[in-house]
Amino acid sequence: MSSEPPGRRLRGLRGLRGLRKPAKKRPAGPPPATAPADSGTLEPPAESGDSIIHAALYRDGHRVSTHDTLADTFQQQRAAAGTLAWIGLHRPTPAELVTLASEFDLHPLALEDALEAHQRPKLERYGGTLFVVLRAARYLDDAEEVDFGELHVFVGRDFVITVRHGGAPDLSAVRHRMEDTPELLKRGPEAVLYAILDAVVDGYAPVVDGVQNDIDEIETEVFGGDPGVSRRIYELSREVVEFQRATRPLNGMLENLTAGFEKYAIDEELRRYLRDVADHALHTTERVDGFRQALQDILTVNATLVNQQQNAEMRALAEAGFEQNEEIKKISAWAAILFAPTLVGTIYGMNFHSMPELHWALGYPFAVVLMAMVCTGLYVVFKRRGWL
């Protein structure tokens, strides 16, 4: 959900839903005067311009003009027939989206998605406008994690509007690439859409390499007995799942896009480019699927190794306890053997006058022999039982 306050978001969405009106052809001359309040025409609210990254007009693959505000862009495009407007926004306000919807007749449902973000990748067609949602990604080396951004693209007959949420992708590089190849840019808005798709899909390659490197390190840690590897496996698994959600829908989106080549008379050269993007996207999704399976296997192996280590520790504890018990048996046996002469000696050491053995001439040899016999008997018994 959006991080904006609910009241602000709802007010913005009510404004977007008010744009349900039939498409109209924008005049080639200066912009018309504002309609009266009772005419039913929605007057676009004032724009702040804070979220406008770049707005420019192109003709035959070359830049005609660059503008700082949406109003200047609209006015110049009305005055210059046959131009393509390419407008880049970052986290636009509801007012800016209403302004764009009023000028280009964008569908309110698509505008709500662009305003709230947190959408799944998809491709929708609203009349003559194509709406594309993409999840871009970049690998952060320092944090060893994947940062995801969201990109919404509106493609019409004479305009391309990009609404970016997050740091990725770098659309300035896409714009420079297209301006450096005017023969591609002059093929129209579909060429810009191809360049954006290509940039997003190519941006997955460093992420794939970074995740692969993390998996290799995790495998080393697993077999090295690192106790903290389980947490790293879990965190990387979550990133791979998020990566799957960003890449898996691309295959269906590109299939639907290529299926409309004939219907919408897409240039043959663009068809080849888009098929190349589809191949790269398929390769990426296959590798990401492989990552998830590999992490599941690693997690299973790690659990097995942890169990083996625990079993080994329990076995070592049991062996230590057994050895301790053996030592206790020996100590107890010798204590019992030594207790017998102590008992006899203690009895005859009491020196009572009524003890006849004290005055018996054979009393001492009898006591010594008795102690020896008791000790020998106990020794034999303990020896047979394995205590000694």
Is pLDDT at 89 greater than 80 in this prediction?
A: yes
For residue 16, the model assigns a pLDDT of 46
For residue 168, the model assigns a pLDDT of 67
Rounded Cα gap, residues 171 and 162, in angstroms: 9
- Segment 298-348, tens digit of pLDDT: 888 888 887 877 788 888 888 888 888 888 888 888 888 888 788 888 877
Percent of the chain having pLDDT more than 90?
27
Rounded Cα gap, residues 88 and 162, in angstroms: 5
Nearest Cα neighbor of 135 from 155, 146, 150, 122 is 150
Identify whether 169 is preceded by a cis peptide bond (ω within 30 of 0).
Answer: yes
Contact indicator for 334, 327 with CB cutoff of 8 Å: no
**How many other CB atoms are there within 10 angstroms of residue 230's CB atom?**
16
For residue 31, the model assigns a pLDDT of 37
Sheet arrangement for strand 84-90: 62-67, 52-59, 84-90, 159-165, 145-155, 129-140, 122-126
CA-based end-to-end distance of the chain: 76
Q: What are phi and psi of 3, to 5 degrees?
A: -85, -5
- Segment 14-43, tens digit of pLDDT: 444 444 443 444 544 333 333 333 333 333
- Give the pair of three-digit tokens for residue 123: 């491709």
**How many other CB atoms are there within 10 angstroms of residue 94's CB atom?**
21
pLDDT band at 175 (very low <50, low <70, confident <90, very high): very high
Contact indicator for 129, 142 with CB cutoff of 8 Å: no
Contact indicator for 47, 70 with CB cutoff of 8 Å: yes
For residue 264, the model assigns a pLDDT of 67
Contact indicator for 52, 133 with CB cutoff of 8 Å: no
**Which alpha helices (H) appear in the chain, and where do they start and end?**
6-17, 70-79, 94-104, 108-116, 171-180, 182-185, 189-224, 229-259, 268-348, 363-384
The residue type of 212 is Q
For residue 28, the model assigns a pLDDT of 41
Our CA angle for 176, 178, 181, nearest 5°, is 110
Is pLDDT at 68 greater than 50 in this prediction?
A: yes
For residue 359, the model assigns a pLDDT of 73
Contact indicator for 136, 203 with CB cutoff of 8 Å: yes
